[in-house]
Structure 1
Amino acid sequence: MSIAGGATRAWPAVHADDEVPVDIPRVPAREAAERELSKSMYHENDPNLLERALNRFWEWLADVLDAAAGASPGGPLGLVVIVLVVVALIAALWWRLGTPHRTATPGDALFDDGPRSAAEHRTAAEAHAAAGHWNQAVQERMRAIVRSLEERALLEPRPGRTADEAAAEAGRPLSGHAEALRSAARAFDDVTYGGRTADRQAYARLRDLDTELGRTKPDLNTTAQGPTG
């Protein structure tokens, strides 16, 4: 082939069987790469699902704390002080008020099974106490106290009576033990409805009260009548 100026240059011959670079389309290339990277050999050391979830949680918590630290007076130190103050207030309220518990309602009867004598309730209470089952021991001893007062005609037998009602009614002829009876009823309610746990001392107080009431002469000028109407 002639070129201006008289020089002649020969172009290299191209044969059909020579290898020519081929551009792979974008989508097939991406799919091929994804298939390759999906092989297990590339994921042997990846965190499991729980580890990934925990990592996300800690990242989220760190972001929340960073944001709170930026918004609180004094930065991170101020945030720590605020958290400690809140924890101290919660602990103080918990110690002062105890575990939140439900107040007994009229449907919360003291006796939840067939009639038994005071002696039978005492036997059951002592058996629970010997086994270290203080909640059940407190419950049975309170039932023994009330049943004993019914057997002595100091309380009128009445189905559906609650521990609080029994204590209030018995406190009239046994005025010297009115406060102790109310405390015994609260102990019964706490372990029965409030989710609290009794101990040896709680049971011992009810056992001693049961013994003292048996020796106490009631005020015969005061009657312990139930609700009228």
Structure 2
Amino acid sequence: MPEAGGFITARLLNGASATPPVDIGRDPAREAARRELSDPAYHQNDPSLLQRGLDKFWDWVGSLFDSASGATPGGPLGLVVIAVAVIALIAALWWRLGTPQRAVTSGGTVFDDRPRSAAEHRTTAEAHAAARRWNEAVQERMRAIVRSLEERALLDPRPGRTADEAAAEAGRPLPGHADRLRAAARSFDDVTYGGRTADEPAYIRLRDLDRDLERSKPVLSESIPGAAE
């Protein structure tokens, strides 16, 4: 029976050549496995530290979105509707208030370039108004008001004067227009330093004030600096 003999012979040969098994404890085996897996050859295709950080971040975003959608009526669709509504509200506020800029300040001066007459400022203001550039129109009309008061000697020509200072000083010889002068100064500061957007009614108020001031007679007093004698 050659098949049986061959099988028995193979078993004997294998048994003769086989080495006895090695019995390794749990802790040495764990340490040996750790050393083996620390071989850089096993980690050539591992993601980078940045990639692992991004993966964790997106996992966090996904879990946050899942939590929010679970707590929102309508699930994910309701969350999308709310997000769209919030974005629309922000866009509407941005359009209405203009680009956010630094807070309103009264520290800026009225004039920032070469000296010009009140008539020149009025002409420039009207040109801006005709082009519907209301911010520039308001600025130039306020400059026309201040320059006109200087030309009438109701204000002393002084570089570096702010709109608020001009309004306060002009309100003394022209007390009947003091409130309108302060409002005009605020409009100038809003569009010049506060990032606000002027409109046609704002410009018309300054234009009417300018015309009324031209026809107004000052209240003369020795206590008014720069007043006409």
Query: 2-side partners of 1:180 and 1:63: how far apart?
Result: 57
Q: Which residues of 2 match residues 19-34 of structure 1 at below 5 A?
A: none
Kindly, what percent of the aligned residue pairs are identical? 64
| Structure 1 residues 155 and 69: alpha-carbon distance in aligned structure 2, compared to 1, 3 A threshold | same
Structure 2: stretches of 5+ with no match in the other structure = 6-53
1:121 correspondence with 2:121:
yes
Q: Which residue of 2 aligns with 1:102?
A: 103
CA 1:222–1:199 in 2, change beyond 3 Å: closer, same or farther?
farther
SS at match of 1:109: coil
The amino acid across from 2:191 in the alignment is: V
Q: Does the CA contact (< 8 Å) of 1:174 and 1:218 recur in 2?
A: yes
Residue 66 of structure 2: aligned partner: 66
CA RMSD of aligned residues (A): 3.6
In structure 2, relative to structure 1, the CA distance for the partners of 1:105 and 1:203 (3 Å cut) is closer
Alignment of 1:202-217 (within 5 A): 202-217=202-217
Question: How many aligned positions are there?
Answer: 163
Structure 2 letter corresponding to 1:181: L
What is aligned with 1:14? none
| Structure of higher RCO (CA pairs closer than 8 Å, 6+ residues apart) | 2
Distance 1:154 1:195, change over 3 A: same
Q: Secondary structure at 1:104's aligned position in 2?
A: coil
1:60-102 deviation per Cα after TM superposition (whole angstroms, max 9, x unaligned) = 65521333466xxxx3249989x79xx6xx98xx79xx67652
Shift of 1:206: 0.4
In 2, distance between residues paired with 1:215 and 1:224? 19
2:150 is the alignment partner of 1:140: no
Q: 1:3 to 1:110 in 2, by over 3 A?
A: closer
**Retained in 2: the 8 A contact 1:174–1:219?**
yes
Hey, what does 1:160 align to over in structure 2?
A: 160
Instruction: Give the whole-Å Cα distance in 1 for the aligned partners of 2:223 and 2:138.
Output: 27
The whole-number CA distance in structure 1 between the counterparts of 2:125 and 2:103 is 24
Structure holding more helix per residue? 2
Normalising by structure 1, report the TM-score: 0.60
Contact 2:109 2:162 in 1 (8 A): yes
Following superposition, the deviation at residue 2 of structure 1 comes to 4.0
Q: Which runs of 5+ in 1 are unaligned?
A: 7-52
Q: How much has 1:218 moved relative to structure 2? A: 1.1
Question: Could you say if the C-alpha distance between residues 60 and 173 of structure 1 is closer, same or farther in structure 2, counting changes exceeding 3 Å?
Answer: same
Residue 72 (structure 2) aligned to one of 64, 76, 82: 76
Contact 2:106 2:189 in 1 (8 A): no
Deviation at 1:103, TM superposition (A): 2.9
What is the alpha-carbon distance in structure 2 between the residues aligned to residue 110 and residue 3 of structure 1? 115
Deviations 1:23-46 (A, max 9, x none): xxxxxxxxxxxxxxxxxxxxxxxx
Distance 1:223 1:138 in 2: 31
Task: Give the counterpart letter for 1:154 in structure 2.
Answer: L
Give the C-alpha shift of residue 221 in structure 1.
2.2
Pairwise CA distance, 1:104: 2.4
Q: Deviations over 1:105-143 (max 9, x none)?
A: 53x211001111101110111111111111111110000
Residue number in structure 2 paired with 1:181: 181
What's the TM-score once normalised by structure 2's chain length?
A: 0.60
Partner Cα distance (2:223, 2:188) in 1: 24
Aligned CA distance change for structure 1 residues 222 and 78 (closer, same or farther; 3 Å): farther
Q: C-alpha deviations, 1:198-229, integer Å up to 9, x for none?
A: 11111111000000011111111275449xxx
CA distance in 1 between partners of 2:192 and 2:206 (Å): 15
- Residue 129 to residue 222, structure 1, CA distance change in 2 (3 Å): farther
